[in-house]
Amino acid sequence: MRFKFLLKPGWLALTLAVWVFAGVCVYLLSPWQFGRNDERQAQNSAITESLKSDPAAYGGQHAEWQKVELKGRYLPELEALARLRTVQGEAAFEVITPFETSTGQRVLVDRGYVRPVNGIKPPDFAAPPTGEVTVIGLARGNESNATPAFDQDGRRQIYSINNDAVGPGIQPGYFQLIEDQPGALDVLPLPRLESGPYFSYALQWIAFGVMAVGGWLYFTIREARPGGVLHESGTKKRKKSIAELLAEDGDEGADEARAEADDAGQLHGSRHVT
């Protein structure tokens, strides 16, 4: 039967591997990359819109990257350093200082970054101004993993910028200061406004899935036709082992020796007759 090879264990395993790979490429990996592309596009749009617009007054909830104006005072006693950061390709600490608004709400303000001393220790840096100030920052969401703050090298430190990590009574999220604001240090650079490679990556994963299925179809059709490799392998004679070939050579040598002996016997008998 022409399609009998489809039921062979090796072919079934190959078929399963190909279709699972194609499914993962088309239904998991490519949508994941499309989703990352959508997130990047939304982020770029939000940043662009924020840079063009005037700051909004603080009102509790704000969209990501929205420019917001805060009025109140810094709370340096609760300040913490976000560790294990990379800014423009180099190690950094981000300085996170709670800020109490004029309405009594407490929020986190990212005053910028400082470079570590000897690659690991926090440096000395300017304290925030005292008294009431007005600052403008970009609204950001909480980072995950709210590990509580801890003391190290004479500074409170945190792993994630999260209100629960810094202390109780602070509103979720934080505000990243823009340039020329009271208390700002080296301001964090904005993300680059580019789409990134995610869309092309998504198309590549789809292409990989299609190529895998196309290759499987090609080999299936080739094997289904007369002369296929698997079909021929069932009809080809089994190759003989070296031992079998040597045994055959030995048998042929014995046959030749017997033939020579018979010829010699016949010749000797004919001589006696004469």
Q: pLDDT means per 10 residues in the chain (274 residues)?
A: 75 91 94 91 82 86 91 96 94 97 96 92 95 95 89 94 94 95 94 82 94 91 70 52 58 58 55 49
What pLDDT, on a 0 to 100 scale, did the predictor assign at position 183?
96
The domain segmentation of the chain, as residue ranges, is 4-43+197-224, 55-177
State the Cα–Cα distance between residues 161 and 81, nearest whole angstrom: 9
Q: Count Cβ atoms within 10 A of the Cβ of residue 168 and give its class: 0-12 exposed, 13-18 middle, 19 or more buried.
A: exposed
Number of H helices, E strands in the chain: 6, 9
